[in-house]
Every structure is written in C-alpha cells, then in structure tokens.
Chain A
Amino acid sequence: ETGVTQSPTHLIKTRGQQVTLRCSSQSGHNTVSWYQQALGQGPQFIFQYYREEENGRGNFPPRFSGLQFPNYSSELNVNALELDDSALYLCASRELAGLSTGELFFGEGSRLTVL
C-alpha cells in the first residue's frame, strides 16, 4: 500500500508567479484535502475534494484553486503569488468525505518560498 506522496518537495518562486503542487493519494482513498502551514502556525485548511468536486473550502482567496483527477491524485494551484504564500503545503487523503471521522493520511509536504 503506497502512502501519500507530494511533489515537488521544495521550490522557490517570485512574487506574481504561479505554482502547481501535486499530490498522489493513498491507494483506495477518494477524498483529498490541502493545508497550508505558515511558520509558527498549525496547518490551515485550504479546501477538500471528493470524487473530483470541491466540497469544502477554508478562508483562502480564489487564486488558490485545485483539481482532483479520476485516479484521485490532486493539484493545488496558486496564482499571483504573494510573499505571505511562503509556507509548507500539506496534502492529506482519507477514504470517505462528509461526516466521516476517519483519520487523515498526510504527505511530507511541499515547501514553497516566495521571493
């Protein structure tokens, strides 16, 4: 059983650029969520996808967008990067959505630095 994998592990961008982060969910999981962890903070919920549709969103502007593919892999896209977008981005998958209380399985994260 393969775990959650994320790519790239590190990347550096400049203000105004766009970035795409990728996540491969754990086998059998149909729900993926993305979190942003800024320095000194806990992970903040960005959004969640279930069967290729967004079904939950945190307090992030529309320039944060995502996709989930039929094989349940996922992308996080951020447009018009700002300095404050520098953070660790975590992807997490689980088997069910809705009121499931199932644990999340996390990747190791993609660390984004915006200069």
Chain B
Amino acid sequence: ILNVEQSPQSLHVQEGDSTNFTCSFPSSNFYALHWYRWETAKSPEALFVMTLNGDEKKKGRISATLNTKEGYSYLYIKGSQPEDSATYLCAFHNTDKLIFGTGTRLQVFP
C-alpha cells in the first residue's frame, strides 16, 4: 500500500513567523510530487509540481524542496500572513493517479 504522510497535522503560528511542513512519500516509481493549497470553502489550488531530485521551487514567500531518493519534500512559508491560513496538501504522482496525504492545516494569527 502506497502511503503519503504529512506532518504536522496542524500548526498555529503568529503573523510574521516562518514555518515549514513535511511530506513523506514512497521512493520508488516516482513521477512527480504535487503541493496544493486548499482554503476553506474553495477548491484546492496547485502550488508546485516537482519532478527532479533536488528540485527547489519558489512562488513569492512559499518555497519547496524535493528529495526523491529518501522520499520527502519540505514546504516553507517565510513571514506567514493571515491569508496563508489554509490546508496544504501534498500528493505523490504514481503512474496514473495522485496519492494525497491528509494535509497540514495552517492557521496564522494576526
């Protein structure tokens, strides 16, 4: 059974704090690792799709790294803002489907 684990399950931080989450995935049959941001009552939106070992991607204050050999990815948010409050999902792309983790729920307090 292919499993994707995310930690922590939830996180509460103050505005301005930097934070990071972890996604662990199987290291075999790797095609891609996706990160999605999911705000309440909205649809999940893609942040990054990462394909190569050592990949680093950045979008504004959010960045991600990828280690396919050991099967983990980190998502970093620098200087968290209240609008960053959301659930962050990672998904392991295996052949024809994505296998999602249960997400990290981030709450940023002003």
Binding site for B on A (CB under 8 A): 3-4, 33, 35, 40-45, 48, 55-56, 58, 90, 97-99, 101-109
Binding site for A on B (CB under 8 A): 4, 6, 31-32, 34, 36, 41-46, 49, 51, 89, 91, 93, 95-103
List 30 A-B residue pairs with CB atoms under 8 Å apart, sorted by A's residue number.
A3-B43, A33-B98, A35-B100, A42-B103, A43-B44, A43-B89, A43-B98, A43-B100, A44-B100, A45-B98, A45-B99, A48-B96, A48-B97, A90-B43, A90-B44, A97-B96, A101-B32, A101-B93, A102-B49, A103-B34, A103-B46, A104-B36, A104-B44, A106-B36, A106-B44, A106-B45, A108-B41, A108-B42, A108-B43, A109-B43
For chains A and B in complex, what number of residue pairs have CB atoms within 8 angstroms?
Answer: 60
Give every chain B residue within 8 A of A48 (Cβ-Cβ): 96-97
Chain A interface mostly helix, strand, loop or mixed? Answer: loop
Give every chain A residue within 8 A of B32 (Cβ-Cβ): 101
Contact status A106-B97, CB under 8 Å: no
- In whole Å, how far is A103's beta carbon from the nearest beta carbon of chain B? 4
Contact status B98-A104, CB under 8 Å: yes
Q: A99-B95, A101-B51, A103-B49 are in contact. List 17 more A-B contacts (CB 8 A).
A: A4-B43, A40-B102, A41-B102, A42-B6, A42-B91, A42-B103, A43-B44, A43-B89, A43-B98, A45-B97, A58-B97, A99-B31, A104-B36, A104-B44, A104-B98, A108-B42, A109-B43
